[in-house]
Amino acid sequence: MFTLFLEQLLNGLQSGVMLFLMASGLTLVFGVMGLINLAHGSLYMVGAFACAAVAAWTGSFWLGLMASLMAAAIAGALVEILIIRRLYNRDHLDQVLATFALILIFSEGTRWIFGSFPLFLSVPEFLTGTVVMPGDFQYPLFRLAIIIAGFAVAAGLFLLIGKTRLGIRIRAGEADRGMIAALGVDIDRLYTIVFALGAALAGLAGAFVGTTQSVQVGMGEPVLILAFVVIVIGGIGSIKGALIGSLLVGFTDTMGRFLLPHAFATFLDPASATAIGSALASMLIYIVMALVLFLRPSGLFGTEA
Amino acid sequence: MKGIKTTIAAVAALLVAGAAQADPVKVGMITTLSGGGASLGIDARDGFMLAVKQANNPDLEVVIEDDQRKPDVAVQLADKMIQQEKVDVLTGIIWSNLAMAVVPSAVAQEKFYLSVNAAPSQLAGKGCNANYFSVSYQNDNLHEAAGGYASSAGYENAFILAPNYPAGKDSLAGFKRFFFGDIAGEVYTKLGQTDYAAEIAEIRASGADSVFFFLPGGMGIAFMKQYAQSGVDIPLIGPAFSMDQGILGAVGDAALGVKNTSNWSKDIDNATNKAFVESFVAEYDRLPSLYASYGFDTANLLLSAMGKANVNDKEAFRDALRAADFNSVRGKFVFGPNQHPIQDIYVREVVKEGDVLTNKIVGVALKDHADAYASECSM
């Protein structure tokens, strides 16, 4: 039971790290530009499809991974320049409508190019198999690699935001966009870069997740909802909040699915314990979100609105 | 000139219609054509439309709409089709939760409903209806066969897994009805769930000697990939939905050797089935799935009834449907008393033919199998 518990903790960590790649882009875009981007999930789908298509064509997962970053970043930059740029001064309802339209365009466009049937994408050869973890249980090597890669990206992102000139501009843009424009920063270019960066992170998450799941049209929307839960919990605009929120959601979801049916089974018959436990487990992250909002209305690391 | 042509065509159509003495039949197809479950609905539609095209019957008109796998959308579409389009027959729904939202009210409004897939237990027993026909199966059937197969293969301790929705509940109930070993663990997952790490960890720790899983569409792809990556080597058994033709390509070699139960397979040996598989491949350039076979049979059942009776004579049309006088791709086709099929269910194994993964029949799991709810139906 204890090793199972450890394994589930790792699973929670892995799902949290993947969520962070999604949520960090979303929260950056919201924090810096004040834009609600529903099409973020579509960029995740673009990444997964680019990776699957290039990996199938060249036989190399790594080229696929590169392609996912490039395709999502390019798609993000184009979308920002052509459409999103016109929305910054509109109210949130217009942004939601326009980016929802983008979801439909991306989905049908992808269906038009790749068809309705899921694509094949597999783990590279040397990352297949399992490793024996401390505590004596086997864990898939690829999931371990995802955890490490996710933390590496998170560290890179913190360095980028905290230590570089671009990071200073991004933070300044969050604080007062009128002022940095007045100081001569090319705000249009900054916005395009931030949007492409967020898109690339989403594309990377899509490529990673595509290797363990189904690469299909519409794969982005369920993740998008979770990513919104994460940034609401973490505080909108905060990268640190996105990290903590992602891990919290990842752990809550995994451990809830694992522990709740067992907990109910101590005083109910197995069939109803499973039914009630799994029903409650699927609500758990929303209950956590409601609790966080009740105690801290602007999220864990949000600035007071 | 054009006007004259149209007039001649119209007169000709009238004459043909007059000769057959049949009113035209309008079919409303509500199925999933976008989002995660789209490949199932597209297959069912393509199978249905292939039969319609082959029959080339000018009295048959089909209206197709996308339900996006959302119950509320399906209900709106059904209302629109009944009230505005004035359809005579509804069909197409893939998902049982959508079927439960649409079918009871449609059949109460004296519309025929022919199911190409979803057949929840609620509509087979006390909730059966003279206007409701399931061409595919009753939801539990393939799972019952999987239970029967697991027992006869000598498995004694199974871990069972399904999504938390009506068909998922039917699935596990069906499996347990015919499996006589112990249940090592029973898990309901969220519908549309994509990560199964937590469930696979439990399977590994459960000490089971077999795993039964019902995860249609993208859920099955995600589960199979992650199961293969996890290194767990407990044998998998599933209904055909978990190993359907649309899934296999995306799962890859991880699916090889997995046993699954189905009432249709592309190697069932009869002329209708051979012609169906050949013409489907020629038309759409891919192998048909079982959803496509259900769509094809449903259209042919409808066409057979249209040849015998007028759709506005409800009683006669119902009898014509009940007679099921058509060539099914499954060979023989008979409706039971609750208008669900009585049929053989096979065990298939995933094999590779050249570069393409597909299924091959390796045995019969249940012969002339009827569903468990027929006795509760009073019709």
Partner-chain contact B201 A8, CB within 8 Å: yes
R_g (Cα) of chain A, nearest Å: 20
Cα separation, B220 vs B197, in Å, equals: 13
Size of interface A-B (CB pairs under 8 A): 130
- Which of A:252-291 have CB within 8 Å of B? 254, 257-258, 261, 270-271, 274-275, 278-279, 282
Best mutation site among B43, B188, B251, B357 for testing chain A: the one with the most A CBs within 10 Å?
B188
Q: What is the dihedral of CA A27, A32, A34, A38, to 10 degrees?
A: -40
Q: Are B252 and B361 members of one domain?
A: yes
Average pLDDT over residues A17-41: 90
Q: Are B194 and B278 members of one domain?
A: no
Strands B356-369 and B341-353: antiparallel
Partner-chain contact B194 A14, CB within 8 Å: no
Confidence tier at A304 by pLDDT (50, 70, 90): low
Nearest residue of A to residue B187, measured between CA atoms: A274
* Shortest Cα–Cα distance, B267 to chain A (Å): 22
- Which of A:112-151 have CB within 8 Å of B? 116-120, 122-123, 128-130, 137-138, 140, 142-143
Which pLDDT value is given to residue A285?
Answer: 93
pLDDT exceeds 60 at position B74: yes
ipTM score of complex = 0.81
Which pLDDT value is given to residue A125?
Answer: 80
- C-alpha distances (whole Å) from A18 to each of A243, B39, B118, B193, B230 are 10, 26, 34, 15, 18
Q: Are B224 and B275 members of one domain?
A: no
- C-alpha distances (whole Å) from A41 to each of A23, A27, A224 are 10, 13, 5
- CA geometry: angle B257, B261, B262, nearest 5 deg: 120
The tens digit of pLDDT for each residue in A61-106 reads: 999 999 999 999 999 999 999 999 888 888 889 999 999 999 999 9
Partner-chain contact A216 B218, CB within 8 Å: yes
Average pLDDT over residues B6-25: 56
Which pLDDT value is given to residue B166?
Answer: 83
Partner-chain contact B225 A211, CB within 8 Å: yes
Q: Are B15 and B116 members of one domain?
A: yes
Q: Which residues form the domain of B229? A: 141-262+345-376
Q: Which of A7, A123, A214 sits opposite B218 (nearest CB)?
A: A214
Q: Which residues form the domain of A30? A: 2-295
Nearest residue of A to residue B230, measured between CA atoms: A140
Largest CA distance in chain A: 68
Partner-chain contact A118 B218, CB within 8 Å: yes
- CATH number, domain of B214, equals 3.40.50.2300
pLDDT exceeds 50 at position A305: no
* Shortest Cα–Cα distance, A134 to chain B (Å): 16
Strands B89-91 and B112-115: parallel
Indicate whether A304 belongs to any domain: no
pLDDT exceeds 80 at position A135: no
The DSSP H or E segment spanning A130 is: strand A130-133
The tens digit of pLDDT for each residue in B106-125 reads: 999 999 999 999 999 999 99
Measured between beta carbons, the chain B residues lying within 8 angstroms of A143 are 197, 229
Nearest residue of B to residue A277, measured between CA atoms: B188
Measured between beta carbons, the chain B residues lying within 8 angstroms of A251 are none
Confidence tier at A115 by pLDDT (50, 70, 90): confident
Average pLDDT over residues B236-251: 89
- Which of A:180-219 have CB within 8 Å of B? 209, 211-219
Residue (of B297, B227, B236, B288) closest to B261 by Cα position: B236
Indicate whether A302 belongs to any domain: no
Q: Are B46 and B153 members of one domain?
A: no
Partner-chain contact A218 B198, CB within 8 Å: no
Q: Are B171 and B249 members of one domain?
A: yes
The tens digit of pLDDT for each residue in A197-233 reads: 999 999 999 999 898 888 888 888 889 999 999 999 9
Cα separation, B87 vs B108, in Å, equals: 14
- Which of A:43-102 have CB within 8 Å of B? none
B164 backbone dihedrals φ, ψ, rounded to 5°: -85, 80
- CATH number, domain of A159, equals 1.10.3470
Nearest residue of B to residue A210, measured between CA atoms: B222
Which pLDDT value is given to residue B6?
Answer: 53
Which pLDDT value is given to residue A39?
Answer: 93
Tokens matching residue A303: 């600035």
Average pLDDT, chain B: 90
Which pLDDT value is given to residue B258?
Answer: 92
Average pLDDT over residues B285-308: 95
Measured between beta carbons, the chain A residues lying within 8 angstroms of B356 are none
Indicate whether B340 belongs to any domain: no
Which pLDDT value is given to residue B1?
Answer: 45
The tens digit of pLDDT for each residue in B340-361 reads: 999 999 999 999 998 899 999 9
Cα separation, A43 vs B247, in Å, equals: 24
Which pLDDT value is given to residue B4?
Answer: 55
Q: Are B255 and B322 members of one domain?
A: no
Confidence tier at B268 by pLDDT (50, 70, 90): very high
Cα separation, B347 vs B83, in Å, equals: 43
Indicate whether A141 belongs to any domain: yes
Average pLDDT over residues A131-160: 89
Q: Are B254 and B274 members of one domain?
A: no
Nearest residue of B to residue A259, measured between CA atoms: B198
Of the listed ranges A117-126, A161-170, B44-53, the one predicted with least confidence: A117-126
Indicate whether B61 belongs to any domain: yes
Q: Is the dihedral of CA A259, A264, A269, A272 positive or negative?
A: negative
Q: Are B13 and B80 members of one domain?
A: yes
Indicate whether A192 belongs to any domain: yes
Which pLDDT value is given to residue A188?
Answer: 86
Q: Which residue has the tokens 């990352």?
A: A127
Q: Give me the number of domains chain B comprises.
A: 2
* Shortest Cα–Cα distance, B252 to chain A (Å): 7
Nearest residue of B to residue A256, measured between CA atoms: B198
Residue (of B65, B40, B10) closest to B240 by Cα position: B40
- Global confidence as pTM: 0.82
Q: Give me the number of domains chain A comprises.
A: 1
Q: Are B99 and B203 members of one domain?
A: no
Average pLDDT over residues B246-262: 89
Cα separation, B87 vs B113, in Å, equals: 11
**Number of C-beta neighbours around residue B13 at 10 A:** 13
Secondary structure percentages of chain A, helix, strand, coil, to 5: 80, 5, 20
Confidence tier at B20 by pLDDT (50, 70, 90): very low
Confidence tier at B211 by pLDDT (50, 70, 90): very high
Confidence tier at B301 by pLDDT (50, 70, 90): very high
Which pLDDT value is given to residue B373?
Answer: 93
Strands B157-163 and B182-189: parallel
Q: Are B257 and B371 members of one domain?
A: yes
Q: How many CA atoms lie within 13 A of A197 on its CB side?
A: 22
pLDDT exceeds 60 at position B364: yes
Measured between beta carbons, the chain A residues lying within 8 angstroms of B229 are 123, 128, 140, 142-143, 212
Which pLDDT value is given to residue B19?
Answer: 44
Cβ neighbours of residue A225 closer than 8 Å, sequence gap 6 or more? none
- C-alpha distances (whole Å) from B49 to each of A83, B61, B63, B118 are 39, 11, 11, 19
Partner-chain contact B42 A116, CB within 8 Å: yes
Q: Which of B219, B231, B250 sits opposite A215 (nearest CB)?
A: B250
Cβ neighbours of residue B44 closer than 8 Å, sequence gap 6 or more? B31, B92, B94, B116, B117, B291, B292, B294, B295
Indicate whether A303 belongs to any domain: no
Partner-chain contact A3 B286, CB within 8 Å: no
Residue pair B28/B79 in contact (Cβ under 8 Å)? The answer is: no
Q: Are B295 and B201 members of one domain?
A: no
Partner-chain contact B192 A222, CB within 8 Å: yes
Cα separation, B51 vs B31, in Å, equals: 17
Strands (E), chain B: 25-31, 60-66, 89-91, 112-115, 132-134, 157-163, 182-189, 210-213, 236-239, 259-262, 334-335, 341-353, 356-369
Which pLDDT value is given to residue B5?
Answer: 54
pLDDT exceeds 60 at position A22: yes
